[in-house]
Structure 1
Amino acid sequence: MVAEQLEIERKFDVDGEFAVPALDGVPGVAAVAGPVTHELAAVYHDTADLRLVRTRVTLRRRTGGPDEGWHLKLPAGAARRELHAPLADGTDVAPAELLDVIGGLLAGEVPAPVVTMRTRRVVTALRDAAGRVLAELADDTVTATVAAGTAGGAPEVRSWRELEVELVDGPEAVLAAVGEVLVAAGARPSPRASKLAFALSSRLGRSG
């Protein structure tokens, strides 16, 4: 069974020593839940010419965390449409239901692993006075290993830290308000389209 959601988020680059500021003063936020840590491992699949990431499409197999499974992310204006399918025992092949969605892009090619990404994610939920989760702040420390682009080549390893503020059940104004607090504390709005694009930037010929 494939589930679908609309992903609306803002990303920020931070240094390793960055301290996340208090967010309980953000308008509309009445409580900040204690942080929850997840260890995530994801393998990103694409064609040999990186056709998917070049068109802002992401296909990954993730383990760890509450949303482990296969994820297919598609551009939807300023947001992203995300399709989610459960993991199948004994196979690392993406479900046909997801591959069918991008069949036109694949043109018969079977996507293969291009990046392995390990992320230590610390999640903080921002709630309103009724206990509803308005948004979540994810503090991600990432290590990405890019498969060698040519036979005999060496894998490329990149590490970085970033913050993601994702809307859950609140208005988009919450994202803007949280972003202002983070920037005031030293965070920088990220120009990157995705973690995958940044990991593959040397092969894509751009900064990510």
Structure 2
Amino acid sequence: MVTEQLEIEQKFDVGPEFVVPGLAGVPGIATAGPPVVHDLVAVYHDTADLRLARARVTLRRRTGGPDEGWHLKLPAGAARRELHLPLGESAGGPPDELRDAVATILDGAPVVPVVTLSTRRVVTALGDADGRVLAEVADDTVVATVLPTAPGGQPEERGWREVEVELVAGEEPLLAAVGAVLVGAGAQPSARASKLAFALAGRLDRSGR
């Protein structure tokens, strides 16, 4: 069964020495939970000419963490609409329900694995005085392997670190307040739309489309 949510988040570029500051003093935030570590592996699927990436769509199969499964993320203004399905019994291709949702973009082209992302994620939950989780801060150390889509091609690897702040039950002004504290600690607002777009930037530029 497909589940759906609206993803509202901000990304920040950070260096290897960055330390996530204490956030319990941000207005509206009463608690900052203990960091929880997840090791995530996500395989992104697209056409050989990256039709989904060009449309700002991501289709992935991710293992590890509390929301492992198949995810399809679609543009929704400044946010993203996310469709989710469980992993199923095999590691086969994308489920029909998700493939059908982007059939117009695919236009009959097959989808293949194009990127593998391995991420060490450290999550801190930010809560209010009533115990509701308002937002989550994810400190991600990422290694991306861009897979060849043509015979004889070679994989390309790159790594980086970023911090994401994603709303759970909080309101959008909370993103700005938490972001201001992160920037004060040395983080820089990120211009990239997604990890996938950053990993594929060179290939997208080389294609000329």
TMscore range, shorter length: over 0.9
- Displacement after TM superposition at 1:63 (Å): 0.3
Aligned length: 206
Pairwise CA distance, 1:128: 0.3
- Equivalent positions of 1:151-190 (< 5 A) are 151-190=151-190
**CA displacement, residues 94-114 of structure 1 (integer Å, 9 cap, x when unaligned):** 111111110111111221100
Q: What is the DSSP-based 3-state SS (H/G/I as helix, E as strand, rest coil) of the residue aligned with 1:89?
A: coil
Q: Does 1:113 align with 2:113?
A: yes
SS in 2 for 1:205: helix
Structure 2, unaligned runs of 5 or more: none
User: What residue ranges of structure 1 are gaps of 5+ in the alignment?
Assistant: none
2:33 — aligned with what?
Answer: 33
Partner of 1:140: 140
How large is the Cα RMSD of the aligned pairs? Answer: 1.0
Write the letter of the residue equivalent to 2:186: G
Within-5 A mapping of 1:1-208: 1-205=1-205
Tell me the alpha carbon deviations over residues 3-49 of structure 1, each in whole angstroms, 9 at most, x when there is no partner: 00000000000001101111011000001000100000000000011
Give 3-state SS (helix, strand or coil) of 2:135's partner. strand
Indicate the percent of aligned positions where both proteins have the same amino acid: 69
Give distance in 2, aligned partners of 1:164 and 1:125: 12
In structure 1, distance between residues paired with 2:89 and 2:112: 18
Whole-angstrom CA distance in 1 between matches of 2:39 and 2:57 = 24
Distance 1:92 1:122 in 2: 29
150-159 or 23-32, which deviates more: 150-159
Amino acid at match of 2:43: V
CA distance in 2, matches of 1:91, 1:170: 35
Could you tell me the TM-score, scaled by structure 2's length?
A: 0.97
Question: Structure 1 segments of 4 or more deviating over 4 A?
Answer: none
